[in-house]
Amino acid sequence: MAENDSQERRGSYIAKVHSNRRIGSGFYKLLLEFTDSGSEAFGGCRPGQFGQLDLSGAALPPSGAIREDLQDSANRGVLLRRPFSFSDVTFKGIETFVEILYSAVGPSTLRMTTVKSGDSMSVIGPLGKGFEIPEGKKMALLVVGGMGAGPLEHLAKVLTEDYPTMQVFAFAGAKTSEALPFERRLDEISSGLGFSLAEFAEFGIESYVATDDGSAGYEGLVTDCFSEWLGKAEVKAEEAIIYCCGPEAMLSKMAEIAAERKIDCQVSMERLMACGIGVCQSCVVECRGEGPGETVYKLCCEDGPVFDSKEVVFGV
Ligand SMILES: Cc1cc2nc3c(=O)[nH]c(=O)nc-3n(C[C@H](O)[C@H](O)[C@H](O)COP(=O)(O)OP(=O)(O)OC[C@H]3O[C@@H](n4cnc5c(N)ncnc54)[C@H](O)[C@@H]3O)c2cc1C
Ligand code: FES
């Protein structure tokens, strides 16, 4: 489905919770089921697009199950919806299954951990602009930082299903092996390229893992791991494209690497979002304007969250 179609179909839909399970040390996967018009709207959404979830009606976990550093914020009311992108979307006609990879970091995501099969919740979406796959590209390089894995897992699936001749490699980094949001036993990961991450291996995509402390894979930043790989690999700049999602410092570094090598690069940006639909102006991203040194403010929720890395003026 073209992005225009999906924007026309955006609306407020009720999703049924299919499952909500813990993966690894502190990560969860929530699987939502949409039917009828919700199925049509979300069934065609592009990797990188997102939904605004209303978690105000969900219960908090018991206080003993809440991390010490989240005890205070846990009890804050959840007045606003929160944005979440999707790690998988499966369209089955009258039903669409949408998976969200998340971790508990505040009042909404703590409440998200308690929803269970059969519950329902309101979701506004699909919102924003997702990753684009320009004509002529033969190699896609996916670079993940921590919780940025979700939309790139979805992109991995779309690339392999719709572009079977595309060569795809994935690079994923986090501070420690515990902070990598994947299901496989991470102590088995070697420092070389291999099929170590099941989430990418299932699509035949080789992956590299990097951790700052060396507890899994390459010891160091994923951006350094990627640069070293790029230095040795045979990559034709005009045929390659880099897709990134993660902390802004990582995206900024990736934008630099891409510019040096003249490789197209798309980054998924994050901002605090109140409305998610272009009304409140809370989510601005500083971008380059037409003239030299000129900058303009774009909206992460409407113009993004995915931007061409050349466009963004990074603040870090
Ligand atoms: C387009 C988009 C897609 C997202 N997809 C996912 C996803 O797939 N999985 C997931 O776990 N999270 C995702 N997020 C982040 C998620 O929406 C926030 O972490 C959300 O605020 C959590 O709500 P909360 O009430 O649990 O915690 P909050 O109290 O809202 O946030 C917890 C802490 O994180 C900070 N914070 C929240 N959002 C941001 C932000 N955008 N930039 C910088 N700091 C922030 C807050 O200031 C606060 O200190 C996404 C965000 C965006 C903009
Ligand atoms: S979140 Fe309201 S304008 Fe972007």
Question: Could you report the per-residue pLDDT of 110-138, keeping only the tens digit for each?
Answer: 999 999 999 999 999 999 999 999 999 99
Task: Give the distance (Å) from ligand 2 centre to CA of residue 104.
Answer: 23
Cα–Cα distance measured from residue 182 to residue 232, given in angstroms and rounded to the nearest whole number = 27
Q: Tell me: pLDDT of 26 over 80.
A: yes
CATH topology of domain 3-127: Elongation Factor Tu (Ef-tu); domain 3 (2.40.30)
The ligand that comes nearest to the alpha carbon of residue 54 is 1
**How high is the pLDDT of residue 190?**
72
Question: Could you report the per-residue pLDDT of 165-217, keeping only the tens digit for each?
Answer: 999 999 999 999 889 999 865 656 777 777 788 899 999 999 999 999 999 89
Kindly report the CA angle at 218 between 148 and 229, in degrees rounded to 5? 85
Please report the sign of the dihedral spanned by the C-alpha atoms of residue 160, residue 166, residue 167, residue 170. Answer: negative
Task: Give the distance (Å) from ligand 1 centre to CA of residue 271.
Answer: 8
Kindly report the CA angle at 201 between 195 and 206, in degrees rounded to 5? 50
Domain ranges of the chain: 3-127, 139-270
Domain spanning 139-270, CATH architecture: 3-Layer(aba) Sandwich (3.40)
Q: Tell me: pLDDT of 8 over 90.
A: no
Nearest CA residue ID for atom 42, ligand 1: 271
**How high is the pLDDT of residue 3?**
53
**How high is the pLDDT of residue 263?**
97
Q: Tell me: pLDDT of 2 over 60.
A: no
Q: Is the CB of 280 under 6 A from ligand 2?
A: yes
**How high is the pLDDT of residue 192?**
75
Cα–Cα distance measured from residue 17 to residue 103, given in angstroms and rounded to the nearest whole number = 17
* CB hemisphere CA count around 156 (13 angstroms): 29
The residue among 3 and 195 whose pLDDT is bigger is 195
**How high is the pLDDT of residue 155?**
98
